[in-house]
Amino acid sequence: MSTAFAAVYARDLRLALRRRVEALLPVVFFVVAVSLFPVGVGPEPQTLRLIAAGVVWVCALLASMLSVANLYALDHADGSLEQMLLSGHPPTLIASAKAAAHWTITGAPLVLAAPVIGLLFDMSVPALTTLVGALLLGTPILSLLGGVGAALTLGLRSAGVLLILLILPLTIPALIFGSGAVGAVDSGISASGHFSLLGALLIFTALIAPLATAVALRIALE
């Protein structure tokens, strides 16, 4: 099973390297979208620090949704998805591997870009560290939930719009706890409670999302 997981994971990474422009689009969107807020809101440091966490989290969610729509669509179009499901390996393993690859391609660069973005909003070092930690816990949740949405909308018209409508309500707790952790640090309060809730949400999502994705893929291919 570990070999199959690694094979699917490595395959998606290789495909992303062949489509570098498409793979980099969510990261570019994230950086550009976040960078526009200081220009639009103004240079007032207090205002920028106040909105920083929420802006970064919302832009990270939208950037993640840009690429998740094609998580299964391309494999479904060329028939490779059906071959994966007929290979005898658990569909949950395939769903987990593809979600992990999506996070590596999209989520990890967002986490790495967060410190640079935080400097634009004049964030303090503790707040910036908290933001990076929250994104590290929260962005895998976005990839896992995005996989569920991508499987549910597989083969449908206007799949991107339907995916956003399905996934956005499910991501609200991650956004609340992630941005709340930064707000707690700025207020001089420990963010451990928010991190605990984010960790619990990640564990719950990691257990449930692959199962839901596997069921949705089976239904879509029948």
Question: Rounded to 5 degrees, what are φ and ψ at 190?
Answer: -65, 140
Confidence at residue 137, expressed as pLDDT on a 0 to 100 scale: 93
Report, as an integer, the average pLDDT of 22-32.
86
Give the chain's mean pLDDT.
Answer: 86
Residue pLDDT, tens place only, 156-205:
776 667 888 888 888 999 999 999 999 899 888 888 999 999 999 999 99
Confidence at residue 196, expressed as pLDDT on a 0 to 100 scale: 94
Confidence at residue 177, expressed as pLDDT on a 0 to 100 scale: 92
Residue pLDDT, tens place only, 58-78:
998 888 888 887 788 778 777
Q: What is the pTM of this model?
A: 0.89
Report, as an integer, the average pLDDT of 15-35.
85
3-state secondary structure of 44: coil
Query: What are the Cα distances from residue 65, in Å, to 25, 27, 87, 171, 222?
Result: 11, 11, 28, 11, 26
**Nearest to 69, CA basis, from 158, 172, 174:** 158
- Which of residues 196 and 91 earns the better pLDDT score? 196
pLDDT level of residue 26 (50, 70, 90 thresholds): confident
Number of other residues whose CB lies within 10 A of the CB of residue 116: 12
Distance CA(91)–CA(86), nearest Å, equals 9
For the chain, percent of residues with pLDDT exceeding 90: 28
Confidence at residue 114, expressed as pLDDT on a 0 to 100 scale: 87
Query: Residues 68, 25: contact at Cβ < 8 Å?
Result: no
Report, as an integer, the average pLDDT of 90-112.
90
- Which of residues 158 and 123 earns the better pLDDT score? 123
Distance CA(106)–CA(100), nearest Å, equals 10
Pull the structure tokens for residue 95. 């769903």
- Rounded to a whole number of angstroms, the distance between the first and last alpha carbons of the chain is 24
Pull the structure tokens for residue 184. 């707690």
The burial of 90, by beta-carbon neighbours within 10 Å (0-12 exposed, 13-18 middle, 19 or more buried), is given as middle
Pull the structure tokens for residue 13. 């990474």
Confidence at residue 117, expressed as pLDDT on a 0 to 100 scale: 86
- Residue 139 above 90 pLDDT? yes
**Nearest to 80, CA basis, from 66, 94, 67, 99:** 94
Q: At what angle do helices 91-102 and 125-152 cross, to 10 degrees?
A: 140
Report, as an integer, the average pLDDT of 31-54.
84
